[in-house]
Amino acid sequence: MSDLNQQKFFAQDIDSVKQTLDSSEQGLSAQEAKQRLDKYGANEIREGEQKSTLQKFIDQFKDLMIIILLIAAGLSVALEGSEGLVDAIIILAVVLINAILGVIQENKAEDAINALKEMSSPKATVIRDGEQVAIDSREIVPGDVVVLEAGDVVPADLRLFKATSLQIEEAALTGESVPVTKELDLVAEDAGIGDRTNMAFSSTNVTYGRGQGIVTGTGMDTEVGNIAEMLEGAEGKTTPLQENLDSLTKFLTYAIVAIAVFIFVIGLFNGREWVEMLLTAISIAVAALPEGLPAITTIILALGTQKMSDRNALVRKLPAVETLGGTEVICSDKTGTLTQNKMTIEKVFYNGEMHDAAEDIDFNEPVFRIMNMANDTNINSNGELAGDPTETAMIQFGFDKGFDVREVLETQPRLGEVPFDSTRKMSSTFHPTSEAFKDQAPYVSMTKGAPDVLISNCNYYYDNGEIKELTEDVREKLLDTNHSMATQALRVLAMAFKYYDEEPANYDSETLENDLVFAGLIGEIDPERPEAKEAITKAKGAGIRTVMITGDHKDTAAAIAARLGIIDEGDDSSVTTGAHLDELSDEELAEKVEHYSVYARVSPQHKVRIVEAWQSHDKVVAMTGDGVNDAPSLKQSDIGIGMGITGTEVSKGASDMVLADDNFATIVTAVEEGRKVFSNIQKAVQFLLSANLGEVMTLFFATMLDWQILEPIHILWINLVTDTFPAIALGLEDAESDVMEHDPRGRKTDLLSGGVLASIIYQGLYEGGITLFVYWYAQHIMQVEHVDAEAMAFLTLAFIQLFHAYNSKSVFKSLFATNPFGNKWLNIGVLASTVLMLITVFVPGLNNAFGTNHLVGDPNSVTMWTVVILAAASIIVYTEIIKAILRATGYAEKAQSKTKSKK
């Protein structure tokens, strides 16, 4: 970054700027420009370092769970030979699939820095050696003089020294929906980007007028370059799900190692061979480790992305599905996100009364004629409008009423005009009078402009067909009306006219803009999206805070926020500005951030600070936006939400999720889907870990009792057959009816919270206990052979897990509160697992390998099957009783933390 980047050229007079940059209005010489190009480099955005596909693939194996699985696979092969090889192959397949899916997701992401490069203007007009020349914008250097015309993309940051009715649309950079009228006056040193009216910024669009300026910054030294640098330097955030999985992995690792070591030591103490005990310890570790969890989690997330895609929420990064469900704060850009990013007439004041835009209006009302005729909007053959949004709104208003100004101008053509400039703050046109007013005079001028200025130039006012003298009392009432409209976030313009008996000799302000007749006021607004208010209310009901961040003025932002329900009417204490943020340290902002719901006149750096301040309170923060200025905060947030229609490629590239319909309400839908995804992952975790705990408890107590209850092939088959299919199917459960009535999970809630850990323990202990009971019952009560008792324990442990899959549909709710078989995929998964289990019994040869051949055709087979099925099904009765107790004692409601009085 060069020293020029630190200069505040907007606060310096133009002579000082020329001196600092060693330039003049005649521009640089070609030789000097070449030397500066060598010094400062090309006018382009620096590209960030890219990871190769191989690097991305290697990164997938840095997860602790994956490392443990690979170690387990290696030990299985080393110590168990061919039996261990099968186990290792399954583990490696799971790890490989997970890594491939991760790389595919990363490769789908567009490069935000490349998108910034694409925004640059390919050509620019500069003054070199005193002559205008067109050059490649990459060759622009500090000190160059750039010439701007309507339709140009500003090629670099400029300090303007000429501006003739110059207006530049800066929404992508500042968030303001209305083009900025450029002026040459100095501005304060602490002025935000939106208030630096004597500057033109790289990658913004000239919508009207012309101007010239000296280049103050190129490439990475522009405001857009600063954003690119922020994006380049931002560290990737770990999502709550990634943190939860990491925490769960560490917890399981410590628990598994402790149990395995304990069993190994106890076995040696009892005089058993160390190799045998080491194999037993590894078997327990493999049984306890949910090796399918990474793949199952990925599959559930992928299914969630598909569901969200069907509802217009396009997920670019898998963990974003779940992260959105844990969102506690949504920091939303105003323009284009909460509002429609187009100016619309909302109020029209004439004949002393205020009228809603929806009301009918007489086409002969002067205020109506003026807004349509004193207008520079371009209308193409298809009726599409182009021009200043303030003016296009007036023509659209006429179109909506059935009035086509093109037809009127055929009989009342524009004979002359005085264009708008920022000093007068008015513009005027001159026409023949319409037939309805021919008796007044043959000609009429029509003027529109800033209310305070235009009203001061009026001596009369129009009132229901009469022209009356404008007294001071009436003037004060008109100014009060203007103020009242402005406080409602309306952009107010005044309309006036004047009759003439003949065409004037000169069309100038002195002739056309004095001694006017006041016709009325119009109030325009970038209206809120119709569905936004309801969506914010729903978010509030789900315990989610909505915060508006915008580049607009404070009064406008506050009025829109009140209309949306983000703040109460007149609640100024919840509104602050970027200038105020500059006075606060990061620590002070963190202390006060919860007090503010609206931030106005902010810069990209402010947005990042606001997100970081919320994150300092351990809040999960979502940020929505569509402009270049939103990109750094989108990347900093836990989940960045870009706009698919109005969003720039930069904002989409920095986002985790893109709204295909730019609809704020889609966010609430996505939150519900995200909560469902997390809930379903919890269900899968509960199911897998309770099943694995059952296996561990079975092997642990069997070892302690010196029972040979399960063979390694039994454990391997159960893990392969009964875990995966039901766990994936649980990921397809519909959202529970009260999913949006709970407080957000936030960061403090992990996969084992909300009653999940307790459920794993009481359910896993029962699974292990009932399996041990069946083995004991078979040997000591039924007195069957050891191989048959072992087979019964094997089948009991397998089928109890399949029954238990239905228990896992909800942590606390009864299985029978809804249709137990409502999830067809769970039914199919359980059926598939059941068939695979029965294969080990009824397929000759295979049943010998599993020791289950006596369960077919043996005199005791019916009794053995009866014991197995009853024991396995008992998990339903047992779990229903425990759930009922938890609900009755209030533990369930407390664990789920339902929102209180938020609806």
Per-residue model confidence as pLDDT tens digits over 222-231: 888 877 776 6
- pTM confidence score: 0.67
C-alpha separations of 707 from 506, 643, 699, 702, 766 in Å: 111, 62, 9, 5, 18
Confidence category of residue 239, pLDDT binned at 50, 70, 90: low
Report the pLDDT averaged over residues 591-597: 94
pLDDT at 896 over 60: yes
- The catalytic residues are 333
Report the pLDDT averaged over residues 610-614: 93
* Lookup result for tokens 């371009």: 378
pLDDT at 109: 37
pLDDT at 237: 56
CB 722 within 8 A of CB 835: no
Confidence category of residue 286, pLDDT binned at 50, 70, 90: low
pLDDT at 424: 84
* 20 C-beta neighbours (distance < 10 Å), count: 18
The Cα–Cα gap between 686 and 810 comes to 10
pLDDT at 735: 73
Confidence category of residue 731, pLDDT binned at 50, 70, 90: confident
Token representation of residue 881: 């009783």
DSSP string, 613-682: HHHTTT--EEEEE-SGGGHHHHHHSSEEEEESSS--HHHHHT-SEEETT--HHHHHHHHHHHHHHHHHHH
Mean pLDDT across the chain:
83
CB 31 within 8 A of CB 206: no
Residue type at 271 in one-letter notation: G
CB 103 within 8 A of CB 318: no
pLDDT at 119: 43
The Cα–Cα gap between 585 and 742 comes to 34
Confidence category of residue 895, pLDDT binned at 50, 70, 90: confident
**Per-residue pLDDT tens over the stretch 429-467:** 999 998 888 888 999 999 999 999 999 999 999 999 999
Q: Which of 63-77, 267-281, 714-728 has the highest mean pLDDT?
A: 714-728
Chain mean position to CA 462: 50
Return the DSSP state at 246.
Answer: H
pLDDT at 283: 64
pLDDT at 671 over 90: no
pLDDT at 630: 76
**Per-residue pLDDT tens over the stretch 316-358:** 776 777 778 888 999 988 877 788 878 899 999 999 999 999 9
Q: Where are the alpha helices (DSSP H) in 777-860?
A: 786-807, 824-842, 846-850
The Cα–Cα gap between 41 and 44 comes to 8
Least confident among 363-377, 618-632, 708-722: 708-722
**Per-residue pLDDT tens over the stretch 744-800:** 877 767 777 788 888 999 999 999 999 999 999 999 999 998 889 999 999 999 999
The Cα–Cα gap between 123 and 126 comes to 10
CB 822 within 8 A of CB 816: no
Report the pLDDT averaged over residues 699-728: 78
CB 305 within 8 A of CB 321: yes
pLDDT at 395 over 90: yes
The Cα–Cα gap between 643 and 646 comes to 6
pLDDT at 792: 94
**Per-residue pLDDT tens over the stretch 116-129:** 444 444 678 899 98
